[in-house]
A and B are shown apart, each in its own frame.
Chain A
Amino acid sequence: MAIVPHYETLVISLLFCVTQAATFSAATSSVWSKVETGPPDAILGIAQAFRECQDDRKVNVCVGAYRDTQGKPWVLPTVRAAEQKLLENDDPKDYLPIEGDTGFITEAVKFAYGQNVDLSTVAAVQTLSGTGACRIGGEFLAHFWENKNIYIPTPTWGNHWKIFKECGLETHPYRYYDRSTNRLDLIGFIEDLEAAPEGSIILLHACAHNPTGCDPTLDQWKRIADVLERKGHLAFFDSAYQGFASGDAERDAAAFRYVTDRKTIPVLLAQSFAKNFGLYGERCGTLSMICSGEEERQRLLSQLRCVIRPMYSSPPRHGSSIVKTVLSDSQLAPQYYEECATMANRIQAMRELLVKTLAEVGSTHDWSHVSEQIGMFAFTGMSEEMCDQLTKDYAIYLTRDGRISIAGLNDSNIRYVAEAIHAVTDGKSITGN
C-alpha cells in the first residue's frame, strides 16, 4: 500500500469524554483533535486567491482552463447540442459498467490511436479525467509491473508526483527542460532514461507539455523511442491536450502514435477530455493500454475493474455521454473539430501577440521560447520572486514556476500583462533559475 508520510500518526486519546447534554463544547479531546489543516493545493489555492482578490486590475493566468475573448469560460456549441440531445432522448441514469461506457470508450480510443485502430488490441477503461486515469494506471502498474520505478519529467504538472506516490510507485525525476536555454534538455533526458533500471515506467506528455509547452520534435521523439526500446521501458503517456495544442487532433497525436506504432514498447495512455472538449468539471477521460489481442484485453479489463470498483465503483456518465454523442454524430463530429481548432487558434494568436507586445513595451529579453512553445501555457522563465511580485504589485495570478495560462489573455488585458512582465523582468535574468 502507498506510503503517506504527511502527518504524524494520530493516537486516539483514551480520555474521550462525551457530555450528556445536547450541546457539545468542551470535550477534552475529540477523535479529530490531532488533525492538522492540510496545505492548500498550489494551483487551486492560487485560483482561490484570485477569486478573493478585490483589485480591479486582477488577471487570472493561473488555472489551465480556456477563456474566450471576454475572459469567460466557453462551453462548446457541440457540447450544448449533445446535452440537449441527451435530454430529448431521455438518456437513462443507470450505473455504467465498472469500466465505463463502451460506446464512449470506442470513440475515445479511436480519437487517440486513430480511426482504424484494432480495438481488440487496446484495453481501455473510462476514468475521472486525466487525474483519474493517472491514478488507475499507476495503481495497476504498482500491482502488476515488475519494476516499480516511475520517472517523471522536470518540471511537470504538480499533481503527477502526488498521484504516483499514492499509488505506491517509487518516483524519480528525469531531466526535461533546460532553464538556462529555455529549451528541451534532450541530452539530459536521454541520459536519465539510459540510467534508469531496465523496464522502468517513463511518464511522457503526449503533446503540449505542462507547464513548459516545450515538446520534442518528431526526430527527437525517434531518439527517445530508441532508448525506451533498448531499455525495455514502459511509456506512460499523459494526453491532456489532443487537438487543443496545434488545433489539429491528428497532428497532436503524432508523437504518441509514432511510439505505439513501433510495436516494441509497452504503452499506457491517460487521456483527458477536460480541455479539448471543455468538459473540465464533468471529469471525462480514459486509461488504456496496448495488448496482444481480445483474450488478453479481457484479462486486463478484469484487473482494471478490481482497481476501480473499490475506489468509486463506476465512472460518472454525463461527460462521457456528451463525448460519445458528439464523436459518433456525422454532423457534430466535424463541427467539434472546428470548435477545438478555434480555441487553439485563439491561444496561438495570443501567444504571438504577447511576444510582440513585450517587445513593444520595451522588453529586450529573448522571448523566442514563448513563441516556440505550444499549448495552453507560456513557460516564461520568470523566477518565483518575479511571480510573487506580479501577483502582489499587479494582481496578476500565475503559478510560481513562471507558468502563464495564455487562455487567460485577451485584447483587454494583454498590454497590461506585458507591461507588468516587463516591469518585473527588466534588467534581470529569465534563464538559469
Chain B
Amino acid sequence: MISKQFISRLGRQSQKFSTRWQSTSPFAAYEMAPLDPIIGLNEEFQRDDFPQKVIVGVGAYRDDAGKPYVLPCVREAEQRLVDQKLDMEYSGIAGDQKFVDLSLKFGYGEDSGALKEGRIQGVQALSGTGGLRVFGEMIRRHGHKHIYVPNPTWGNHIPIFQNSGLEVRKYRYYDASNSSLDFDGMIKDIQDIPAGSCVLLHACAHNPTGMDPTLEQWKQLSELFKKKQLFPFFDAAYQGFASGDAILDAASLRMFVDDGHLLGTIQSFSKNFGLYGHRVGTLSVVGSNAEEAARVVSQMKMVIRPMYSNPPRHGARIVSTILDDPKLKSDFYEQCKGMADRMNTMRTKLRDELEAVGSTRNWDHIVKQIGMFAYSGLNKEQVMEMRSKHHLYCTADGRISMAGVTTGNVSYIANAMHDVSK
C-alpha cells in the first residue's frame, strides 16, 4: 500500500554532502520507494546485457519484429492535423467535445438509445488511469467509502482508488488451481456486497487473467447487479483489441446499459489506437436523464480542475479525426484487428511450442484467454528463475504480455517456461 511508504518524520542526520549544499538536507530521511511492479520491470530489463533477453512485461503492442507499431491511420490523421495548422488553445476542463461524442458512440454504439436520449455524457480523461482516478475521487466526494474490484485485477487499480480515499475490497474472480473463471465464487461474493456499492468490472480482456465471463454469465451478472442494487463501473481498456471485433468487445457494457443500469465507464485509447503516451481516454456516466448526466459531468470537472486543469489535445484530436472519417475509421478497425489477430496467433503458437518442447502441463488456458495477456500460472519463484537464468522478463504474477511474443522469440520463451516448470 502506498501509505505505508510515507514517512512523516524528518530526521536530522549528520551526513556529509558536497560543499554546494547545507550540512543536512531536508530530504535526508526519505527512503527509496519500491519500483512499480509493472513499469519497474522495464528498468530492470534495460540494465540486462544478455543479447537474447526478452521482455513480455508492459502491455504495449509490438509487431512481429518486436518493434513498436504506430497504426498507419494514426500517422495519416496526424499528418492531416499538422497540415491543418490547428491552434493549441486550452480545450476546456472536460476536453474536446467532439472527441467525447465520437468516443461515446464508439463505446456505447452508434444506435444506443441511452446515448440518443442524452443520458450518456462524459469528459476527456488522461487515459485509463486518469479516468479511474477522477471517478474514484468523485464518488468518494459523494459518499462512497469502498469500491469492489476483482481478485486479481490490474495492479494500479488499488493505489488509484486508495489515493482517491476509497477502501478497496475484492470479490473472487479467478480460480488459479485450474486457470479459469471462478464464476460461482464471483456470484457468491457479489451477493454479499451492500446495496449501492460501486463494483468495478473489466469490460473485456480482463487484466491480468485474460478470462472473461461468457455472454450468458454477463447476463446473470446483470440480473444479480439489479437484484442487489449495485452500481457498476466498467473499465474498458481493450475495445477492438481483445477479439478484434470492437462491437463484440463492448457487448458486456452495452448489455448492462440496455438492461437499464445506471453506471460509469472509463474507456482507454492507449492500446486499441496505440496512443499510449498521449494519454487519451473518456470517462462517462449513464444517468437517468440528460440533466442528471450533465450534473455528474460538472462534478467530474470539479475534480479535474485542481488536478491538471484540462487534458492534452493531440491524442484526442487524432482519435477524433479517425472516428469522424469513414475511410480512416474503417482502416482503424482493420489495423486494430490486425494487432488482435497477431496476438491470438501467438497464443496458439506458444501453446504449441510448449507441447513441442515436451511440457506435460496443460497450457490450454493460454489459448482460451483473451486480450493482451496470458496468465501463465507460473509462480513467483519460477518467474524469478526465468529472469535470472533465461533473461526472460515478465511480472511476478506470471502475467505474460502476448504483444511481446513474436515468431522470432516464441520458441525461446516456450523453452524458458518449460524449463522452470517441468
B27 close to A300 (CB less than 8 A): yes
A86-104 contacts to B, CB under 8 A, are: 87, 90, 92-98
Contacts of B85 in A (CB 8 A): 75, 80
Report whether A37 and B295 are in contact in the complex, using a CB–CB cutoff of 8 Å: yes
Is there an interface contact between A266 and B196, defined as CB atoms closer than 8 Å? no
Nearest residue, chain A, Cβ from B92: A44
Q: Which of A4, A93, A266, A282 contacts B68 (CB 8 A)?
A: A93
B275 contacts the other chain (CB 8 A)? yes
A330 vs B110: C-alpha distance when bound (angstroms): 49
Contact string, B79-94, partner A, CB cutoff 8 A, digits 1/0? 1001001011111110
Question: Does B349 lie at the interface of the complex (its beta carbon under 8 Å from any beta carbon of A)?
Answer: no
| Residue numbers in A under 8 Å from B274 (CB-CB) | 93
Bound Cα distance A147, B45 (Å)? 39
B141-A12 in contact (CB<8A)? no
Q: What's the nearest-Cβ distance from chain A to residue B127, in Å?
A: 7
CB-CB < 8 A to A298: which residues of B? 32
Q: Does B292 contact A (CB under 8 A)?
A: yes
Provide the main secondary structure of the chain A interface.
loop
Q: Which residues of A have CB within 8 Å of B51?
A: none
B58 touches A (CB below 8 Å): yes
Q: Please give, as numbers and ranges, the residues of chain B lying within 8 Å of A34 by CB-CB distance.
A: 142
B8 interfacial by beta-carbon distance below 8 Å: yes
Question: Is B299 on the interface with A (CB-CB < 8 A)?
Answer: yes
The answer to whether residues A312 and B261 also contact, given A32-B296, A292-B18 and a CB cut-off of 8 A, is: no
Contact call A12/B27, Cβ cutoff below 8 A: no
Please state if A309 and B159 are interface contacts (CB–CB under 8 Å): yes
Q: Is B312 among interface residues, defined by CB-CB distance under 8 A?
A: yes
Known: A95-B277, A299-B32. A281 touches B307 (CB 8 A): no
Q: How far is A171 from B84 in the complex, measured between Cα atoms in Å?
A: 44
Within 8 A of B (CB), among A13-30: 13-14, 16, 18-25, 27, 30
Minimum Cβ distance to chain B for residue A315 (Å): 7
**B interface residues, tally (CB under 8 Å):** 101
The yes or no answer to A349 lying at the interface (CB within 8 A) is no
Stretch in A128-136, A184-192, A365-373, A405-413 with 4+ CB within 8 Å of B: A128-136
A381 within 8 A of B: no
Judge whether A49 is part of the interface by a CB distance below 8 angstroms: no
Q: Which residues of B contact A118 (CB under 8 A)?
A: 20
Chain B neighbourhood of A23, CB < 8 A: 113
Minimum Cβ distance to chain A for residue B46 (Å): 10
| A427 at interface by CB-CB < 8 Å | no
Q: Which residues from chain A sit less than 8 Å from chain B, CB to CB?
A: 1-2, 4, 6-7, 9-14, 16, 18-25, 27, 30-38, 41, 44, 63, 65, 72-73, 75, 79-80, 83-84, 87, 90, 92-98, 118, 121, 128-129, 131-132, 135, 143-146, 159, 162-163, 165-166, 234, 263-264, 266, 278-283, 289-293, 296, 298-300, 302-303, 305-306, 309-319
Taking A38-B299, A93-B276, A292-B21 as known contacts, 20 extra A-B pairs with beta carbons closer than 8 A to each other, sorted by chain A number, are: A6-B302, A7-B141, A9-B143, A38-B298, A44-B93, A72-B87, A75-B87, A94-B276, A128-B309, A166-B307, A278-B88, A280-B89, A282-B313, A283-B310, A292-B17, A293-B18, A310-B156, A311-B160, A313-B130, A319-B314
Residues of B within 8 A of A (CB): 2, 5-10, 17-18, 20-22, 25-28, 30-36, 39, 58, 60, 68, 70, 74-75, 78-79, 82, 85, 87-93, 113-114, 119, 126-130, 133, 141-144, 156, 159-160, 162-163, 165, 195-196, 226, 229, 231, 258-262, 270, 274-279, 285, 287-289, 292-296, 298-299, 301-302, 305-315
A-B contact pairs, 21 of them (CB 8 A): A12-B143, A14-B195, A16-B196, A33-B288, A80-B85, A95-B277, A98-B39, A121-B21, A129-B308, A144-B30, A159-B306, A163-B307, A296-B28, A298-B32, A299-B27, A302-B34, A306-B159, A309-B39, A312-B129, A317-B278, A318-B312
